[in-house]
Amino acid sequence: MSIGISVEHIGADPHGDRGGPAQPLLTVKKLVKHFDLKKSFLETLNGGGKVVRAVDGVDFKVLKGETLGVVGESGCGKSTTARLLMHLIEPSAGEIVFNGETVGSPALPLREYRRQVQMVFQDSYSSLNPRLTIQDSIAFGPQVHGVPKREALTRARDLLARVGLEPSRFAERYPHELSGGQRQRVNIARALASEPRLVILDEAVSALDKSVEAQVLNLLMDLKDEFGLTYIFISHDLHVVRYISDRVMVMYLGKVAETGPAEALFERPLHPYTRALLSSMPSMDPDHRTEEAPLAGDPPNPIDPPPGCRFHTRCPHAEAVCAQQVPSLESENGREAACLIHEPGSGHSDARAAIYAA
């Protein structure tokens, strides 16, 4: 047995799971990240500075063994959320609970959490150290966690084979000698080397050619089954997200707009933003056109987000109340939407009707 994880996965409780399969693997509560803007001279004198509200109070769950797709326009906070989940940047507020334990608590120190959660980045080249052979890059993580070098290298070669790269040809190559697709396979192998349970894929296939993208997606799905992984799949490509995800979360300006099972969400979006986003998606089926107007313009500046519902400046259904009241994430039948239309008694003129319609 060369890869330690494989056999244990078959057992009833392979990871020391707590709370059984129904308990979420990851629960994110009120996650906030505000970046300080570089203060200008005058603001320094005044002692104040502005902040970019990149992630502004995000709640979601990731269930064991599922793939959660995360979509949204660029700048909506999806990549910041990924980096927060990895603790690459410190959250300004909020809590991350992994497998029943708060991350950073004595029961789950950051170091152990980081072994169990790994990330694959978008830029396949910049995410590999150009001066290390790819087997050294893959073996680095396990060595950090105390695996002896020889063993780590063996594991690296096995993983290379598993992601479809012949170890005898690739193990001692340098990243610049590989194609983009091959490098992304290496990055996947690197993420898997420390035997994680959750892998965050941040635009992991976005930079690849379409044909290569499909191969890598299929590889990801195979690996997920084989190693019992859970994925958070971040992408701007709605087709890909629909293809790979079990559930989807839509983000807008640092907040969650809507979450729900992938098929339901794509078939019948609840939030006007989701509808607008989906309408920008070239449809394969002429019978499935949405009447929603596609999104115009750029999202508002996250330094100074609009009050109330953040989408009201671009929303075709916006009413006066939308600029005053912040919608809460209402859940029903496994679906959630942060829109006053779906909030009974919110004061929006469509509120009642929508509830009955749903």
Q: Which is nearer to other proteins, 183 or 335 (CB)?
A: 183
CB of 321 to other proteins, least distance (A): 38
Beta carbon of residue 137, minimum distance to other proteins (angstroms, whole number):
7
The smaller minimum CB distance to other proteins, of residues 68 and 160, is found at 160
Q: Residue written as tokens 């519902």?
A: 309
State the Cα–Cα distance between residues 339 and 310, nearest whole angstrom.
Answer: 10
Residues 6+ apart with CB under 8 A from 3: 155, 158, 159, 162, 195
For residue 18, give the amino acid letter.
R
Distance of CA 297 to the CA centre of its chain: 25
Reduced to 3 states (helix: H, G, I; strand: E, B; else coil), residue 307 is coil
**Among residues 199 and 248, whose Cβ is nearest to other proteins?**
199
Q: What is the closest distance, in whole angstroms, from the C-beta atom of residue 132 to other proteins in the complex? A: 7
Minimum gap (Å) between residue 156 Cβ and other proteins: 10
Taking the complex as a whole, the smallest distance from the CB of residue 111 to other proteins amounts, in Å, to: 4
Which of 190, 185, 179 is CA-nearest to residue 164?
Answer: 185
Nearer to other proteins, 184 or 346 (CB): 184
CB of 330 to other proteins, least distance (A): 34
C-alpha count within 13 angstroms, C-beta hemisphere, residue 87: 17
Binding site for other proteins (CB under 8 A): 1-3, 6-7, 38, 40-42, 83, 86-88, 110-112, 114-115, 117-119, 121, 123, 126-132, 137, 140-141, 144-145, 154, 157-158, 161-162, 166-174, 177, 187, 190, 194, 226
- Distance of alpha carbon 48 from its chain centroid, rounded? 33
Whole-number minimum distance, CB 256 to other proteins, in Å?
Answer: 23
Place of tokens 């697709």: 181
**Do residues 69 and 247 lie in contact, with contact meaning Cβ atoms separated by under 8 Å?**
yes
- Closer to other proteins at the Cβ: 109 or 334? 109
- Name 208's Cβ contacts closer than 8 Å, sequence gap at least 6: 124, 180, 181, 184, 216
Kindly give the pairing relationship between strand 26-36 and strand 93-98: antiparallel
If the CB atoms of residues 144 and 357 are measured against other proteins, the closer one turns out to be: 144
Which residue number, 37 or 326, has a Cβ lying nearer to other proteins?
Answer: 37
Overall size of the chain counted in residues: 358
Specify the residue, 126 or 280, whose C-beta has the smaller distance to other proteins: 126
- Tell me how far, at minimum, the Cβ of 119 lies from other proteins, in Å: 5
| Contact of 62 with 26, CB cutoff 8 Å | yes
